[in-house]
Structure 1
Amino acid sequence: MKIKSKAKLIWTVTNNGCEKLGIDHIASTIVKNKLNAVRMTYSSLAYPNILKLREKITKLLANEDKQPADGKVPFLLSFVGRRALLSVPNGEITLENGVEVEIAFQVDFSACASMSTDSNAESKQFEVRVSSEDQLSTLKIGSIINISYGSVELQIVEIKKKSATELTARCIVENGGTLISGVDVHSQDMSRDLFPLLSDDEKTLRAGFSYLADFVIVDGIKSEQELFAIKAGILGENAPFSERHPSIPINKDVLETEALLPPRFLLKVDSKRSYELLPILLKHVDGVFLSRSELGIDEHPHNLPILQKDLVDRCNRMSKTIIIASELMHSMRLNANPTRAEVSDMANAAADGSDALVLSHEVTEGPNADLVAEVSLETLVNSEAWVEKKWHPFEMDKIPSDDDAVTYGAIRIAQQANVRAIVCFTEGGYTAMKLSSMRTPTEIIAITCNKKIMRQLNLLRSVTGMVLESRSQVERILNETKDILVNAFGFKKGDKFVFVSLTASSVSERNSNLFTLQEID
């Protein structure tokens, strides 16, 4: 049986990978290695494969245990947006400083949407495929081209414009290194903004993909108004939300097992601008997706560790989901073993208190994918064992709210009573988020009524979601919870757990809370 980490692992899948490796192979890798979530870029081209992959994962998990299989693996989807991808002859080449290269830039939305970067076999050119014309209109002599998050830098010295959708640039290599097909290309003179929306992304908003996505990763946002526009496109105009639930309206639907609920929103922090917008935008989203590799193009690398710690701490204190993405285990795209720096990078991200870590498609679709999953899991488990010995989130006199006091009290009782788990009943997920954000070393089992909310909760650190088939009085919920613990988690007579809820208690159906120490009869 595979060991289980408290921080979750997110597996990046591309549409191109689905075509090359096959849905069955990818689904088998995810299930076999007990990976926690899937990240994909959504497009009309990718939609059939996203649907097939989810169905295949559900089928493979169906007979594993009593937990509903479609509640285990959440999908994180993002827009295609404005992006640029590199394609090189033969898939890989190394460039020395001072060498001249010629790059053909062309607009090819379908290639960006599918992550297809196969070069023409007869072509000797480097190619960069971008998703919109406006990305080419601002390139100029002197523009710096960052490839693979700045590991290779080129400066444009001459531009030959063929049309609005195609140009050729002669470049000098300022910082040499290895170029690999499929990596991202950035430039300060090449827009990454989400707005104005591309026509295909406008179709995405109308495609009903929100029911396929458990989380939507939003990047390229320049203002609060743009975020509201994206949320309105998915949730509808004037959709109700609260500080507890920025995306999920709490109504009767959350109490129905099969009800189709909207996704939760994750703000991608990938630039200095997006980081500076956090104080304004964080209250309107459910969490943050930190891309350190992209942020590192705007920020000096020595600032990144501090920015990461600050962002993780801020999200934890606001009970927001925090996901860390960078070039984790990146060398394993070619090598069977990671570097010491990569292992340290992953361990520190987990130790800082992140909910989940993202492995990029370069490694998840590479020849060492199974090894990547195994090494990553071992790294997380080993780092968590050390952190748990020092756990203590804050002093009692600094607890900011009643909700924090209740959840903190439940966690402290759980430690002192040496319970097997903290069990919470949560309608929209807030109680589980609050417990998880305190980074307790105790396992959290979140009981909810809706399958989609269960999937969303499975992305949280230390949390395993379960579905309660019907909303009952608190006393009945407790009895039904005990049955779930025995049947699905192997609890035995005499095993203890702390039960906590911030939404209901025996005193009141609403606006009440409780925590209680329980024992399996």
Structure 2
Amino acid sequence: MDKKSKAKLIWTVTNNGCDKLGVENIAAVITQNRLDAVRMSYSSSALPNIIKLRLEISKQLASEDVQHSEGQVPFLLSFIGRRSILSLHGAPIEVADGSEIDITFIVDFNFCASLRPVTSTTKNVEIIVSSEDQLTNIKEGSKISVSYGAVELKVLDVPKNFKSGMTLRCLVENGGMLLSGVDVHSPSMSRDLFPLLPEDERTLQTGFSSLADYVIVDGIKSENELLAIKAGILGENAPFSERHPSIPISKSIHEVEAILPPRFLLKVDSKRSLDLLPTLMKHIDGVFLSRSELGIDEHPHNLPIIQKELIARCNKLSKTVIVASELMHSMYVNANPTRAEVSDMANAAADGADALVLSHEVTEGPNASLVAQVTLETLVNSEAWFEKKWHPFEMNEIPSDDDAVTYGAIRIAQQANVKAIVCFTEGGYTAMKLSSMRTPTEIIAITCNKKIMRQMNLLRSVTAVVLESRSQVERILSEIKEILVKSFNFKKGEKFVFVSLTASSVSERNSNLFTVQEID
């Protein structure tokens, strides 16, 4: 197998970026750099570009004759929800500490949904919000954070019956550069998902779930709100289990083309969502940690420890964990990242994150292709050092048979010096278990359904591939060896550890095994 980073890289794409840069060009960056996943916000206006981008990625990879599932790129989609964006008339503006500035507030859902870099129609600085209710709590003394604290403002006065189109006078408490299109946050401006905006209600009623491999859910205030979103996508009485909070294991999971539900990721972007996490963990498949947004609620010096603890918790529970912040953000204007940015990315990967997210500012900036190359080089080089220091962890208590099997397989893989760990997995649980133990050994996940395959491609160290038959374990092993030789360049005599937590010749379910195999 080609040398790739074990932590996956997620490329953020906006609807505006698709229109401005062209879907074909965005797909070319993704395919040529073998990027692992795409993140987009879902809206009715973005739907055609989401479909077009998925088809274009598959088309370009097919033309390059990618034989295994490197070409199957998972899509992470999110609701638009309530958001706030800065809009300027003309060039960026630098504001100094202690100065005053006029801000006009405008309600325009379509602006927020498309992330269009449209400049304001007046000479004022504008903050565009997606819903009128985001303005009801703004008062004298309200704090406004622009671009995650790059500029901080305090509202000096508020007109009576304040509403869209009105202007506020603000004091600049922390000066800096104002850029059009950046996010704006304030404790006085709601970013709750509920009550759902009309566009988000339509999202639940469309083919959203068939397009999304993962759904990123944010703005959740309670367990009931999360369950309501899941019910809207999965159905009121959809079965789920501790292993599979979102993917019911049924006969359809063995059908290659069957349309299955997406997996759910909770966005941790505030102290409230962080405090809710222990309650919600059993309902979700993973966590999307937005450090830049969380840093508005939490003191920055707390973030490194929060990140480490959250990643460790997710690994222990076999949950997917994704880290997002302003990674490589300076490469929006510079050809080289800062030392701090490189260190930040390397540390997130070393902490055990499944994947890292690059924001649309850099993925759609002038240095996008260079960003992809530098980021991947950073991950590969840092992981090479980390793997030299990796040593078998000791599991003092084996929580379950599943943990015992996966732990044993990893230990045997090290001792037998195998080329890879290969697992057969119906719903992806076996791959999640293996990946969560952060072995330096490559993991190849064999599954029967294409959507499960794409979902597994987001996991650290995992490359997934579809097995288009459902056989007894002896026949599965024979077919897997053929796949390893054809698609992963295995040679005669090379060894792999085969793991299954659900399939054996004795029983289809509730059985497990691992064994060392050799290519004949």
Give the secondary structure class of the aligned counterpart of 1:89. coil
Deviations 1:243-299 (A, max 9, x none): 100000000111000000010000000000000011100111000000000000000
Gaps of 5+ in 2: none
Give the secondary structure class of the aligned counterpart of 1:166. coil
- In the other structure, the counterpart of 1:43 is 43
Q: What is the one-letter code of the residue matched to 1:79? A: F
Which stretch has the larger CA shift, 19-28 or 297-306? Answer: 19-28
- In the other structure, the counterpart of 2:314 is 315
Q: What is the one-letter code of the residue matched to 2:46? A: A
Give the conservation status (yes or no) of the 8 Å contact 2:69–2:464: no
- In the other structure, the counterpart of 2:84 is 84
1:390: how far off?
A: 2.5
Q: Note if 1:253 corresponds to 2:223.
A: no
1:370: how far off?
A: 1.0
Cα distance in 1 between the residues matched to 2:145 and 2:497: 51
Cα distance in 1 between the residues matched to 2:36 and 2:292: 22
Cα distance in 2 between the residues matched to 1:96 and 1:513: 64
Cα distance in 2 between the residues matched to 1:157 and 1:74: 46
- In the other structure, the counterpart of 1:108 is 108
Q: Note if 1:196 corresponds to 2:199.
A: no
Cα distance in 2 between the residues matched to 1:352 and 1:374: 22
Give the conservation status (yes or no) of the 8 Å contact 1:159–1:167: no
Mapping of residues 87-486 of structure 1, within 5 Å: 87-120=87-120, 123-160=122-159, 164-392=163-391, 394-486=393-485
Cα distance in 2 between the residues matched to 1:291 and 1:219: 10
1:2: how far off?
A: 7.4
Distance change (3 Å), C-alpha of 1:91 and 1:17 = farther
After TM superposition, which residue ranges in structure 1, 4 or more long, deviate above 4 angstroms? 68-71
Identity of aligned residues (%): 75
Cα distance in 2 between the residues matched to 1:472 and 1:415: 29
Give the conservation status (yes or no) of the 8 Å contact 2:68–2:487: no
1:166: how far off?
A: 2.9
Distance change (3 Å), C-alpha of 1:398 and 1:355 = same
Cα distance in 2 between the residues matched to 1:374 and 1:485: 27
Gaps of 5+ in 1: none
Cα distance in 2 between the residues matched to 1:497 and 1:161: 71
Cα distance in 2 between the residues matched to 1:144 and 1:66: 51
Q: What is the one-letter code of the residue matched to 2:236? A: E
1:408: how far off?
A: 0.8
Distance change (3 Å), C-alpha of 1:424 and 1:513 = same
Cα distance in 2 between the residues matched to 1:66 and 1:475: 28
Give the conservation status (yes or no) of the 8 Å contact 2:6–2:462: yes
Give the conservation status (yes or no) of the 8 Å contact 1:356–1:461: yes
Distance change (3 Å), C-alpha of 1:169 and 1:243 = same
Cα distance in 1 between the residues matched to 2:339 and 2:70: 36
Cα distance in 2 between the residues matched to 1:241 and 1:9: 29
Give the conservation status (yes or no) of the 8 Å contact 1:407–1:500: yes
- In the other structure, the counterpart of 1:26 is 26
Which stretch has the larger CA shift, 295-304 or 134-143? Answer: 134-143
Give the conservation status (yes or no) of the 8 Å contact 1:499–1:516: yes
Distance change (3 Å), C-alpha of 1:387 and 1:72 = same
1:63: how far off?
A: 3.5
Give the conservation status (yes or no) of the 8 Å contact 2:135–2:162: no
Q: What is the one-letter code of the residue matched to 1:482? A: K
- In the other structure, the counterpart of 1:7 is 7
1:389: how far off?
A: 2.0
Give the conservation status (yes or no) of the 8 Å contact 2:419–2:496: yes
Pairwise CA RMSD of aligned residues? 1.4
1:124: how far off?
A: 1.8
Deviations 1:276-329 (A, max 9, x none): 011100111000000000000000000000000000000000000000000000
Q: What is the one-letter code of the residue matched to 1:350? A: A
Q: What is the one-letter code of the residue matched to 2:137? A: T
Give the conservation status (yes or no) of the 8 Å contact 1:2–1:33: no
> What TM-score do you get using the length of structure 2 for normalisation?
0.98
Deviations 1:347-388 (A, max 9, x none): 000000000000000000000111111111111111111221
Q: What is the one-letter code of the residue matched to 2:140? A: I
Cα distance in 1 between the residues matched to 2:329 and 2:166: 31
1:392: how far off?
A: 3.7
Deviations 1:379-431 (A, max 9, x none): 11111112212324631323322111100110111111111110000000000
Q: What is the one-letter code of the residue matched to 1:320? A: K
Which stretch has the larger CA shift, 497-506 or 86-95? Answer: 86-95
Deviations 1:156-209 (A, max 9, x none): 112246864332111110001111111110000000100010011000000121
Cα distance in 1 between the residues matched to 2:475 and 2:91: 60
1:32: how far off?
A: 1.0
Give the conservation status (yes or no) of the 8 Å contact 1:80–1:113: yes
- In the other structure, the counterpart of 2:512 is 513
Distance change (3 Å), C-alpha of 1:393 and 1:99 = farther
Give the conservation status (yes or no) of the 8 Å contact 1:58–1:70: no
Aligned residue pairs total 520
Cα distance in 1 between the residues matched to 2:395 and 2:183: 46
